[in-house]
Structure 1
Amino acid sequence: MIYNFFIFHRQTCIYFTEWVKSGKPPKQLAGEVKLISGLLFSLKNFSQKVAPMASPSFNSFSTLFYKLHCFESPSGYKFLFMTDPSVPDLREDMRKIYAEIFVEHVVKSPAYAPNITPEMPLAKTAAPGLEDPLNSIHSPLFGNFTTALNSFVKALPAYTSKE
């Protein structure tokens, strides 16, 4: 089961969506996003220091309750899935999301500004009644991306819905 998906750039969460609603208040979600950002930074540094050979990044780690899958693009965007611990490696799927969906719908968009990292004001976004509240802020940039991402993820074998 796939729980949620994040995109980070320059240690800032620029995109978030979830398929299994957590019901957490926006402030708690914002805190978790900051923790995930710090965790990514620490794990990347740790992996580089202890790896016997030069390694660009780590791929995943799991706990009893979830597995965090990570893919870092050549341009520094970090794509993360949080899933059930039993889900196999999603690195190739995240590479496809980057190359075939993100690049096509975000990077090639006229609204894309490569030197600006859009802020995700998480505390203001989880308004009741919005289906994808965090993504609606950047709908000109992320609207088509969200549609393509949802179609792609829902076709993955790891995706199962609780609906």
Structure 2
Amino acid sequence: MLEGDASSTARWRDGITARLVAVERVPNSWGVDIPKSRALVRLRYVIGNEGAGPLPIEPHSSWVTLFYGVNRTEGEREAGYSYDNPKENERKGLNGDNDPTRIMPGTKATYVETYAVPIAELGSLVAAASPPAEEGIRDSYTFLGVEKVLVEVK
């Protein structure tokens, strides 16, 4: 099992990397009909390619998943709003736009995913990264202690 703390960088033998760059609790009003008993947690992460060839990417796919609680229940993906003002969309965006179709060697791509989780479970968060593989399915990397790097955004 591949795992490390939330500030670690996941590395696979083929040169693909994944790293959480921000874990943020954002206001519920940024989402759609989020009950007060749940919190929105936005993940910003980077997938890098230090390998020899391009990594094909399926646009609008999710490569990191947020889990909560002792049984690691998957958070609910939040689609969020689309804001007309580009600066507001950049600040409040709950999911990434303009996903690439490949990651070339020596480059990285940043992604954004947001999950709704019970407020009572904010003290028990893990994230699992599973970027695409050139062939087959990539072993997942688990980031532990994600709640330790969680910051609140107003």
Instruction: Calculate the TM-score normalised by the size of structure 2.
Output: 0.30
Name the one with the larger helix percent.
Answer: 1
Name the one with the larger strand percent.
Answer: 2
Instruction: Calculate the TM-score normalised by the size of structure 1.
Output: 0.29
